[in-house]
Structure 1
Amino acid sequence: MTTDREELEALLYQTRLRIEENQKDEVLDRLNKDLKFIEELFEVNVDGIDPLYHVIDLPEYLREDVAGKTLDNEVIMNLCRSGEYGYIVVPAVPAALENSEHQAKKS
């Protein structure tokens, strides 16, 4: 799996990252090397190997899951920027991407 300049531009747009034009080739090269390394990791045979959750064998200390006091809806609504009918209003991400210059090209 590799990525090209167009996919890099789309990724930069979606993540709101800005990279100088003269550094994009270097970033693309590093990204492709990382993707190649990840592909190699998937080729490793791990059959019969137990998952390792910790680098060193430590007991897990789990707490009992107990429901606590919740925030009052009025307090939450006073803290948010925009709200309607007891719900927090946030920008619709899919609608913003519909008008994106990096949307998937329809054929």
Structure 2
Amino acid sequence: MLIPRVLLRHQITIEPYLGDTSKGPKYGPATTVRCFLDEQTRSVRSPGGEDVTSTSTAYADPGTAAPTLSRVTLPGGRVTRVIQTKQRDGGGLPTPDHVEIQLE
């Protein structure tokens, strides 16, 4: 079961992080993604194990690509980065499968 389409009220733009160059971070082509955006501040653990503050979380369809450190533009124009992405799969239970994108 997927997130009901009616809940995907927001659009964000994701530029996937490709790595660092001598001129700074390199990003791939921007992709617009429909999602549900929850702009709530909370503490999360980064992939490196540090406690960091997340100011927003986007919930999108399974398969949405948002690698750690990708650049994300929110509907209001604020630019942020991906802390981590979590695949949420109910394993056949009647819960909505989705990708949780935690943002700085």
TM-score by length of 2: 0.19
**Would you tell me which structure has more strand in proportion to its own residues?**
2
Give the number of the structure with larger relative contact order, counting CA–CA contacts within 8 Å between residues 6 or more apart: 2
**Would you tell me which structure has more helix in proportion to its own residues?**
1
